[in-house]
């Protein structure tokens, strides 16, 4: 095995030791291997020179007066949980190192510790959420009991006191949870090991200091950057790549989107550059060329100019696009009373309603012309005569002739496909229409002047 594999395996076998002791040992063996490599050995030869790793681990544990054959089954639940978190953090760190091969010289233990703390933060947030739900229930119970058992203002005072009491307990338990989970990171150093190892090699180097509060604060800042900056940037980068792919697809279909493609390339490159820069800062490797960032900004500027000119060349028409299969339903009705037309279910139905006066029509005779998109709607007309009255008897009895114009959507998905296809086809010709009018019905009412005066329109 190579150096990294050896150190990782040794760290796992020494998991019973506390972190500072384990870090001291790993640091010592790292220095020893590096020294042997400088003297002409390769990593595998240097590792092999230590002998069997199981024997080596037992020898180290004996030096720390720990039974090397300790039973893992006797571990407490918290120890098992700690070990599980460490294993998960190790796996995430290994995956990240493989993913970011450029950073292969990064400190493995620091990266593993970062992910270990990330996992613990996630678990603490879950724990606080569960506590919050429990205390919300207690608040509701207290409000129900105290709020209805006493008169005002005593009920409000008691409920407020109950809220403060529950909130205090919640804060106390939350602090206890956080301290319990993270207390091991606040071992104020310097901390040195008083134990001497039988396995100590030729180097007598000073023992590594333990974790300090400053180290933990730096780790917390790194975790904040990963969780709240790098991860959102990764999602933004993913969306930019999706936008780039879609723009390329539409460019192949004939749309003038070269400028948008340049913008998407520039945005994706800038975000990727920022992600790499932040990772390098976290791993204490700040050397990064600025040329890719400059090129990306140039792509965004050039693409923005091209896309602006492309958009400005598009003509807009405030009417329905061509190619819609329109149909007209004509109904001739005879009314003798006041009429109310209910014009239902059309999008934006307050538009395109016309009343046309034609005195050649008889009194009470009306003609309805409903124009609609037959790919989107089925249209029907029904009528009923209703006698209206007021419950208190103050209104006079009135007879109303209701005319219901009903539009029933055939298939929402099909309608969306129709609008989408028309939009793409029109955009290829540098034209854009009012696509809302695809879903709008046009109503024309024709009657003589006296009959039109009896007609009102209600929209639902």
- pLDDT tens digits, one per residue of 376-400: 778 888 888 776 555 555 554 466 7
pLDDT score at 215 = 62
* Average of per-residue pLDDT across 30-37: 86
Is the pLDDT assigned to residue 207 strictly greater than 60?
Answer: no
Higher pLDDT, 352 or 369: 369
Q: Which two tokens stand for residue 204?
A: 């007598």
100 found inside a domain: no
Share of the chain above pLDDT 70, in %: 73
Q: Which of 81-95, 182-196, 273-287, 342-356 has the highest mean pLDDT?
A: 273-287
Q: Specify if 150 maps to a domain.
A: no
Same domain, 287 and 354: no
| Residue at 47 is within a domain | no
Distance CA(36)–CA(407), nearest Å, equals 85
- Are 224 and 281 in contact by the 8 Å Cβ rule? The answer is no
Question: Among residues 266, 285, 313, which one ends one of the domains?
Answer: 313
Does residue 70 contact residue 16 with C-beta atoms inside 8 Å? yes
Q: What is each CA distance from 259 to 244, 267, 306, 308, 429, in whole angstroms? A: 11, 12, 5, 8, 17
What DSSP assignment string belongs to 157-203? Answer: HHHHHHHHHHHHHHHHHHHHHHHHHHGGGG--S--------TT--S-
pLDDT at position 282 is 74
- 113 has a pLDDT exceeding 60: yes
pTM: 0.47
Which of 313, 348, 381 marks a domain boundary?
313
Residues 438 and 414 placed together within one structural domain of the fold: yes
Closest CA to 36 of 162, 155, 149, 202: 202
Mean pLDDT of 79-83: 59
User: Which residues lie across from 344 on neighbouring strands?
Assistant: 406
Taking residues 127-152, what's their average pLDDT? 80
Per-residue pLDDT band at 105 (split at 50, 70, 90): very low
Q: What is the pLDDT of residue 442?
A: 80
pLDDT band at 263 (very low <50, low <70, confident <90, very high): very high
Helical ranges in 359-444 per DSSP H: 412-428
Q: How far apart are CA 293 and CA 259, in angstroms?
A: 18
Q: Taking the CA of residue 455 as centre, how many other CA atoms within 13 Å lie in the half-sphere pointing to its CB?
A: 29
Q: Do both 407 and 443 map to the same domain?
A: yes
Show the DSSP H helices in 226-290 as ranges: 231-252, 258-282
pLDDT, residue 162, reads 84
Same domain, 332 and 252: no
Pair 350, 454 in one domain: yes
In angstroms, rounded to a whole number, what is the distance separating the alpha carbons of residues 268 and 209?
42
User: Is residue 133 predicted with pLDDT exceeding 80?
Assistant: yes
Which range of residues forms the domain containing residue 418? 326-459
- Please report whether residue 411 resides in a domain: yes
- Whether residues 250 and 338 share a domain: the answer is no
pLDDT above 80 (res 118): no
Measure CA 310 to chain center: 32
Is there a domain that residue 290 lies in? yes
Q: CB-based burial of residue 27 (10 Å sphere; 0-12 exposed, 13-18 middle, 19+ buried)?
A: middle
| 340 and 444 share one domain | yes
Q: How confident is the model at residue 196 (pLDDT cuts 50, 70, 90)?
A: very low
Per residue in 415-439, pLDDT tens?
778 788 888 888 888 898 887 777 7
3-state helix, strand, coil in the chain (%, to 5): 60, 15, 25
Contact criterion met (CB below 8 Å) for 352 and 440: yes
One domain for residues 250 and 368:
no
Average pLDDT over residues 318-338: 83
Mean pLDDT of all residues in 38-54: 83
Does 355 lie in the same domain as 286? no
Residues 302 and 377 in one domain: no
Q: Per the structure block, which two tokens stand in for 40?
A: 């002409």
Q: Which residue has the higher pLDDT, 169 or 104?
A: 169
Find all residues with CB under 8 Å of 246, minimum gap 6, and list them: none
Name residues whose C-beta falls within 8 Å of residue 75's C-beta, 6 or more positions apart in sequence. Answer: 83
Q: What is the pLDDT of residue 299?
A: 94
37: left (phi over 0), alpha (psi -120 to 50) or beta: alpha
**Of the residues 255, 281, 313, the one at which a domain ends:** 313
Q: What's the mean pLDDT when you consider all of the chain?
A: 76
> Quick check: is 19 in a domain?
no
């Amino acid at each position: 095995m190579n150096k990294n594999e050896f150190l990782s395996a040794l760290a796992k076998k020494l998991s019973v030791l506390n972190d500072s002791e384990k870090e001291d040992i790993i640091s010592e063996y790292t220095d020893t291997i590096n020294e042997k490599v400088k003297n002409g050995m390769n990593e595998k030869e240097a590792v092999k020179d230590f002998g069997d790793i199981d024997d080596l681990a037992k020898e180290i544990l004996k030096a720390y007066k720990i039974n090397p054959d300790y039973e893992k089954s006797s571990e407490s639940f918290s120890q098992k949980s700690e070990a599980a978190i460490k294993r998960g953090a190790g796996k995430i760190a290994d995956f990240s190192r493989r993913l970011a091969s450029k950073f292969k010289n990064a400190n493995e233990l620091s990266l593993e510790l970062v992910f270990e703390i990330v996992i613990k933060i996630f678990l603490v947030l879950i724990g606080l959420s569960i506590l919050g739900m429990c205390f919300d229930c207690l608040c509701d119970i207290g409000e129900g009991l105290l709020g209805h058992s006493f008169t005002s203002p005593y009920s409000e005072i008691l409920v407020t006191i109950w809220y403060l009491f529950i909130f205090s307990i919640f804060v106390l338990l939350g602090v206890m949870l956080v301290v319990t989970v993270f207390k091991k990171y606040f071992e104020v150093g310097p901390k040195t090991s008083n134990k001497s190892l039988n396995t100590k090699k030729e180097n007598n180097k000073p023992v590594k200091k333990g974790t300090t509060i400053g180290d933990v604060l730096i780790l917390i800042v790194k975790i904040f950057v990963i969780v709240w900056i790098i991860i959102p940037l990764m999602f933004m980068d993913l969306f930019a790549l999706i936008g780039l792919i879609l723009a390329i697809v539409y460019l192949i279909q004939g749309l003038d989107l070269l400028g948008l493609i340049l913008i998407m390339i520039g945005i994706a490159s800038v975000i990727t550059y920022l992600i790499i820069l932040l990772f390098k800062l976290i791993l204490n490797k700040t050397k990064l060329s600025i040329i890719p960032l400059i090129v990306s900004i140039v792509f965004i500027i050039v693409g923005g100019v091209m896309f602006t000119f492309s958009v400005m060349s598009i003509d807009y028409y405030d009417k329905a696009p061509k190619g819609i299969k329109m149909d007209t339903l004509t109904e001739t009705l005879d009314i003798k009373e006041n009429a109310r037309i209910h014009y239902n279910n059309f999008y934006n139905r307050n538009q395109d309603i016309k009343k046309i006066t034609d005195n050649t029509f008889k009194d009470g005779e009306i003609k309805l012309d409903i124009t609609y998109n037959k790919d989107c709607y089925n249209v029907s007309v029904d009528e009923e005569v209703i006698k209206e009255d007021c419950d208190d008897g103050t209104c006079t009895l009135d007879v109303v002739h209701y005319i219901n114009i009903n539009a029933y959507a055939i298939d929402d998905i099909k309608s969306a496909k129709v609008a989408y296809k028309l939009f793409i086809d029109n955009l290829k010709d540098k034209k854009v229409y009012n696509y809302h009018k695809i879903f709008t019905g046009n109503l024309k009412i024709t009657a003589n002047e006296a009959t039109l005066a009896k007609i009102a329109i209600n929209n639902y």
